[in-house]
């Protein structure tokens, strides 16, 4: 019997496949389906503080626009006696999700303001989430902001959240740091229970017929896994925090590769959005089959086996490999 279990941020998981944050988790039905398909845990869709603030402003704006101007129509809407704007919705969802499934529910938070991270993290903990993933999205577009400033923002957010909640906290980061390893280490030292590699920012597109910039969600392709694969392999063993690999994991072999590179868990998103929730079961079964065929007995046995630290050719994960690849291409 192959032992698929793993531990992630102190949570005992029955296998290393987690459903990552996506719109799928908005429905309780889907949560049940994910659990039935074998997901070891679910990262809930993100709570976006900016969205909440925007919604409040929007509601306030449209409730007051044009009011108190004309004697016959001093207002245009009934006064809502009670707003039910997120996070209430989100927290309610976490609460219900916990009731609906037995596997751990990891909440995901994208806050905007200084106080927002802590406030919402506390709410999420109170709602019953087993852990929290900080989905820190900061695009440094201001030329006045240095790399150091950006890094400090990440660290400050993490520290303030960690000092206010007791549930484990993962940080989902982007790969755009000058010194990824150093940044990972500093986050590790600041108390991250796990690093989730990597956040994929949605990239805008240009609509040629309308000459407009449009948001265009591109799902990940299997090629995308190379980036997290490399960094999981490099970081494995260098930091205490668990490593979660996400992005481009589309098949059983991708899961195996990530585990071998050193991740504690793997996260699926695009694969499920493209192929439906049952795909998780297929991937999980495929991974089990691969292990069986290749006579692995447990996940822990293979974890990190192909990391930079453990593989035969550590340099292969470094820049030289790039040169070599180019040469081989020629």
62 binds another protein (CB under 8 A): yes
211 binds another protein (CB under 8 A): yes
- Restricted to residues 68-107, the positions that interact with another protein (CB under 8 A) are 68-85, 89
Q: Cβ distance 214 to 207 under 8 Å?
A: yes
Angle, CA 320 vertex, CA 314 and CA 324 arms, to 5°: 110
Closer residue to another protein in complex, CB, 74/297: 74
- Provide CB contacts within 8 A for 152, sequence distance 6+: none
67 binds another protein (CB under 8 A): yes
The strand pairing partners of 174, in sequence order, are: none
Q: Which of 112, 185, 288, 309 binds another protein (CB under 8 A)?
A: 112
Q: Which of 27, 56, 147, 217 binds another protein (CB under 8 A)?
A: 56
Q: Cβ distance 264 to 241 under 8 Å?
A: no
* CB of 69 vs another protein, minimal distance in Å: 2
214 binds another protein (CB under 8 A): no
- Span of 50-58, 141-149, 242-250, 294-302 interacting with another protein by CB under 8 A: 50-58
3-state SS assignment for residue 217:
coil
Q: How far is CA 249 from CA 62, 242, 266, in A?
A: 43, 18, 8
**d(Cα 239, Cα 184) in Å, to the nearest integer?**
8
- Span of 56-64, 135-143, 222-230, 308-316 interacting with another protein by CB under 8 A: 56-64
Closer residue to another protein in complex, CB, 85/145: 85
Closer residue to another protein in complex, CB, 109/180: 109
* CB of 46 vs another protein, minimal distance in Å: 17
- Provide CB contacts within 8 A for 33, sequence distance 6+: 277
* CB of 208 vs another protein, minimal distance in Å: 11
Closer residue to another protein in complex, CB, 3/55: 55
> Can you spell out the DSSP letters for 149-183?
HHHHHHHHHHHHHHTT--S-EEEEE-S--TTHHHH
Closer residue to another protein in complex, CB, 211/312: 211
Closer residue to another protein in complex, CB, 69/223: 69
- Secondary element (H or E) of residue 265: strand 265-268
3-state secondary structure 12-48: EECCCEEECCCHHHHCHHHHHHHHHHCCCEEEEEEEE
**d(Cα 169, Cα 154) in Å, to the nearest integer?**
13
Closer residue to another protein in complex, CB, 57/202: 57
- Restricted to residues 123-182, the positions that interact with another protein (CB under 8 A) are none
Q: Is the dihedral of CA 17, 20, 22, 28 positive or negative?
A: positive
Closer residue to another protein in complex, CB, 85/181: 85
- Span of 53-61, 152-160, 228-236, 302-310 interacting with another protein by CB under 8 A: 53-61
Residues that bind another protein (CB under 8 A): 49, 52-53, 55-60, 62-85, 89, 112-113, 115-116, 119, 211-212
């Amino acid at each position: 019997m192959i032992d698929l279990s793993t531990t992630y941020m102190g949570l005992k998981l029955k296998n290393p496949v987690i459903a990552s944050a996506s719109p799928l988790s908005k429905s309780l039905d889907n949560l049940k389906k994910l659990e039935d398909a074998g997901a070891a845990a679910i990262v809930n869709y993100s709570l976006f503080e900016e969205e909440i603030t925007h919604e409040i402003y929007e509601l306030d704006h449209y409730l007051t626009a044009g009011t108190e101007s004309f004697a016959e129509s001093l207002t245009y809407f009934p006064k809502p006696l009670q707003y039910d704007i997120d996070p209430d919705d989100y927290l309610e969802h976490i609460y219900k999700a916990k009731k609906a499934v037995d596997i751990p529910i990891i909440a995901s938070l994208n806050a905007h303001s200084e106080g927002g991270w802590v406030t919402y993290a506390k709410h999420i903990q109170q709602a019953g989430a087993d852990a929290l993933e900080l989905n820190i999205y900061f695009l440094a577009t201001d030329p006045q902001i240095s790399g150091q400033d950006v890094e400090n923002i990440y660290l400050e957010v993490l520290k303030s959240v960690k000092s206010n909640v007791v549930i484990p906290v993962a940080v989902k980061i982007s790969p755009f740091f000058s010194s990824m390893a150093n940044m990972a280490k500093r986050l590790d030292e600041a108390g991250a229970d796990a690093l989730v590699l990597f956040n994929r920012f949605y990239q805008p597109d240009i609509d040629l017929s309308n000459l407009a910039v449009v948001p265009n969600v591109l799902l990940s392709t299997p090629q995308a896994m190379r980036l997290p694969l490399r960094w999981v392999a490099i970081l494995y063993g260098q930091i205490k925090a668990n490593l979660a690999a996400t992005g481009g994991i589309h098949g059983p072999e991708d899961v195996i590769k990530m585990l071998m590179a050193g991740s504690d868990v793997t996260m699926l998103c695009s694969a499920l959005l493209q192929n439906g929730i049952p795909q998780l079961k297929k991937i999980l079964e495929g991974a089990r089959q691969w292990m069986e065929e290749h006579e692995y007995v447990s996940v822990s046995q293979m974890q990190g086996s192909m990391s930079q630290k453990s593989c035969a050719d550590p340099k292969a994960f470094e820049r030289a490999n790039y040169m070599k690849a180019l040469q081989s291409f020629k």
